[in-house]
Amino acid sequence: MVLWWLVACSTETTAPPKAEAPKTEAPKTSAPASAQLPGYDGRFASDPLLTPLDVAKIPADRLPYVRNEVFARYGRAFQKDEYKEFFGKKSWYVEKADYSDAVLTEHDKANVELIKSFEGPEKKSRKALVDAGEFADAGVTLTFVDERTIEVGEQGDDLYEWERDSEKWEPRGTDWVITWKGDTGLKKASEARLWKLTMGAGAVSLVGSFDPR
């Protein structure tokens, strides 16, 4: 009996410990589609992430309405009469008593901040940029001549060769400026360019070109 017990013990094996499953973070989810008001089919219906060029195409006086559309599509109530009246005329808009900013997606939040950076009193923005004078970066300078004219200097193929053009400009807040050639207004220009400015540092970078019509 003792011999049998020793043999049994010697042949018994211990099961290897179970490997722990790797921990994974739960993916960030967007607001459920049901949070959006039924019937809404505007620019934010598919939860897009706007680019600076997308926002540059929006007329300056429409920017606050587009920004507030982010909230309106979920039924947010507005305090200002201008927004109450504007969204009140939309067939899809209804105020929701239980509205909460918690329904906003990451794209919603990013879009709101981007649009806000394009907003600002035009007269005040023009003066601030003219007072700043010049913005420069490698291969480009923007010199604000007056509240309507800007000189755009761009380096050519040769290190010492610079092309300078007098253009028209419009501010979008003090972080962005739109320039175009010709004597027409922005809405009649065939092509315009959007620039990103850094106040204080005096830096500038070209974002890209777009058709403003």
179 in the same domain as 136: yes
Does any domain span residue 8? Answer: no
The single-letter code of the amino acid at 162 is W
107 in the same domain as 156: no
Distance (Å, whole) CA 24 – CA 37: 33
Q: Report the CATH number that the domain containing residue 152 is assigned in CATH.
A: 2.40.128
pLDDT tens, N- to C-terminus, the chain (213 residues): 443 333 444 444 444 545 454 444 444 444 555 699 999 999 999 999 999 999 999 999 999 999 999 999 999 999 999 999 999 999 999 999 999 999 999 999 999 999 999 999 999 999 999 999 999 998 999 999 999 999 999 987 776 778 999 999 999 999 999 999 999 999 999 999 999 999 999 999 999 999 999
| Polymer length in residues for the chain | 213
106 in the same domain as 128: no
Does any domain span residue 21? Answer: no
Domain-terminating residue out of 71, 88, 118: 118
pLDDT number for residue 159: 65
Domain-terminating residue out of 118, 133, 154: 118
Does any domain span residue 16? Answer: no
Q: Report the CATH number that the domain containing residue 104 is assigned in CATH.
A: 1.20.58.1690
Does any domain span residue 7? Answer: no
Does any domain span residue 64? Answer: yes
pLDDT number for residue 6: 37
Contacts of 2 (CB under 8 A, 6+ apart): none
Query: Residue 203 forms beta bridges with which residues?
Result: 198
> Whole-structure pTM over 0.95, yes or no?
no
pLDDT number for residue 72: 98
pLDDT number for residue 11: 43
pLDDT number for residue 13: 45
Does any domain span residue 130? Answer: yes
Q: How far is CA 98 from CA 37, 65, 103, in A?
A: 13, 22, 11
Does any domain span residue 1? Answer: no
132 in the same domain as 101: no
104 in the same domain as 130: no
Does any domain span residue 111? Answer: yes
DSSP states of the chain: -HHHHHHHHHH--PPPPPPPPPP-PPPP-PPPGGGSPTT--STTTT-----HHHHHTS-GGGHHHHHHHHHHTTT---SSHHHHHHHHTSTT----TT--GGG--HHHHHHHHHHHHH-S-HHHHHHHHHHH-EEEETTEEEEE-SSSEEEEEEE-SSTT-EEEEEEEEEEETTTEEEEE-SSS-GGG-S-EEEEEEETTTTEEEEEEEE---
102 in the same domain as 175: no
162 in the same domain as 105: no
Domain-terminating residue out of 73, 98, 118: 118
CA torsion 88→90→94→95, rounded to 10°? -40
pLDDT number for residue 161: 72
Query: Residue 208 forms beta bridges with which residues?
Result: 194
164 in the same domain as 107: no
pLDDT number for residue 99: 97
pLDDT number for residue 4: 39
Tell me which residue range forms the domain holding 171. Answer: 122-210
- The number of folded domains in the chain is 2
pLDDT number for residue 33: 58
